[in-house]
Amino acid sequence: MILTVTLNSSIDKLYLMESVHPETVMRVKEVHNTAGGKGLNVSRVAAGLGEPVVAMGFTGGFNGRYLESLISGPLIRCAFTHVSGETRSCINCWDLSTGRSTEYLEPGEPVTSEEVDRFMSDFLRELTGADCVVISGSMPKGVPEDFYGRLIRRCREASIPVLVDTSGSRLISAVREKPSLIKPNEDEIAQLTGRPFSGREDAVPSLQQLYRSGIPHVVLSLGAEGALLACSEGVFHGKPPKITPKNTVGCGDSMVAGFAVAFSRRLPFLEGFRMALAVSAAGALSLLTGDFDPADYQRILPEVSVTRIA
């Protein structure tokens, strides 16, 4: 079972629009509502790959109840900590004429120290049945900056692998506790290593530095060019076949889900790397975030290439 943590969950609203014109009245062509937040995207994709998931985080108010009602997959069990604040909403306006999107992300209502303590108790209860933990995204106000570090420490004490996909001070706190996998972007790698990062030529020594610091798996996404992975076997470049994407929002979460499934099933890690790249590419072929067609995944998987580069 994969345990996902989404502390700043949201109702994600995808607005499909014929075209976007600022400072005018615009009619939305279609609306798609999903249970949002990076960890919930991970949850849906991991369940789509056949892995049971327990989804945790904070939910509150009418939006919180609606969010939980949107999680209907048979392999996902909700174990949210209920709080007094209303769950936020986030809006993605997709311009069908250009293929570009604009996102509006609410910050999320603050939580209390008592609510944070209740979440920790809930987390420790669910942790006993987990094969892998995924901690993703931002935190609402009221959660201590080092909270992800505390969760990682608990996972390490229980000998359960933990994957982290976050940014800023949350990432710095997490890295101190040596999670099993991180997926920073180029700016975050430069911040973590103190090395300038001006392109692909800087990637390999930076990834190796983070690996040698005690993080067993370090992943850098390269968009359409795939991803780089530093691990005990070296540094690898994985690349999916060329596709025509429909929506790249959430593809990084799909990649994390593939890695989480690999950890949960104790797969050889390069096999997990191929899985992560394939499901991320399949996700880009769906308009919905945290979604993929299994037929696309099965078609793409054998076409993913993985090459050792260091």
181-182 and 162-165 beta bridge pairing? parallel
- What letters, b where the CB count within 10 A reaches 16 and e where it falls short, cover 233-268? eebbbbbbeeeeeebbbbbbbbbbbbbbbbbbbeee
Which residue type, as a one-letter code, is found at position 260? A
How far is Cα 279 from Cα 271, in angstroms, rounded to an integer?
12
Under a CB-based contact definition with an 8 Å cutoff, are residues 20 and 26 in contact?
A: yes
131 assigned to active site? no
For residue 25, count other CB atoms closer than 10 A to its CB: 5
Based on its alpha-carbon atoms, the radius of gyration of the chain, rounded to whole angstroms, reads 19
Which residue type, as a one-letter code, is found at position 179? P
How far is Cα 125 from Cα 8, in angstroms, rounded to an integer?
20
The catalytic residue among 12, 253, 291, 296 is 253
Which residue type, as a one-letter code, is found at position 154? R
Q: Which residues are catalytic?
A: 253
